[in-house]
Structure 1
Amino acid sequence: LLLFFTVPNCATPRWERWYMVSFVTSTLWIAFFSYIMVWMVTVIGYTMGIPDVIMGITFLAAGTSVPDCLASLIVARQ
C-alpha cells in the first residue's frame, strides 16, 4: 500500500512524464528493503549463534533457487 502511494504509475498517460521519479523511488525502496532484510538476517544469526558468513551463504542460495523453483512449478502446472 505504501508503494502504491509513493511510486507513480508511469503506464497511465497522466504520469508518463514522471518516469524518472518512479525509477528513483523504486530504487530507494529496493535499497530500503535490502537493508532491512540484511539487518534482520544479521539479528537472527546473532540470536541463534550462526556466523554472518553462513547466514549470508544460506540466504544467497535460497534467493537464487526460489525463482527457479517457482518457474518450474508454473511450467509443471501448465
Structure 2
Amino acid sequence: VNPGSEVVAKGDILVFGVLRGMAHAGAEGDADAIVAAYRLQPTQLRIAGVIARPPEGKNAVPKEPEVARLKNGVIVIEPYHLH
C-alpha cells in the first residue's frame, strides 16, 4: 500500500507486503479490528474511531511482521506471532 493510498475496511486489514499509506480497520466501529502487515510503516492508522500517526523521525524498518490493535483505547503495535 503506497503513500497517499487508503485502505478502509469494516473489519481487519491484512497486508501481505509493506503498508506505507493510511489504513482504517473497523471503520464502522469494530474496536476488535486489527491492522497487520509484513512491514507496518503507515502514514496514519485508524482502528474504529481511534487515530494514530507514527512518531516524527521514526524511520526504523520493522524486522518482523507487526500487528496494530486497540488496547485500553490506544493503538499499540506489536510483533505478529502465530499462536
Which has the larger helix fraction? 1
**Could you say which structure has the larger radius of gyration?**
1
Taking structure 2 as the reference length, the TM-score comes to 0.21
Larger strand share, 1 or 2? 2
Greater relative contact order structure (CA < 8 Å, 6+ sep): 2
TM-score between the two structures when normalised by the length of structure 1: 0.22
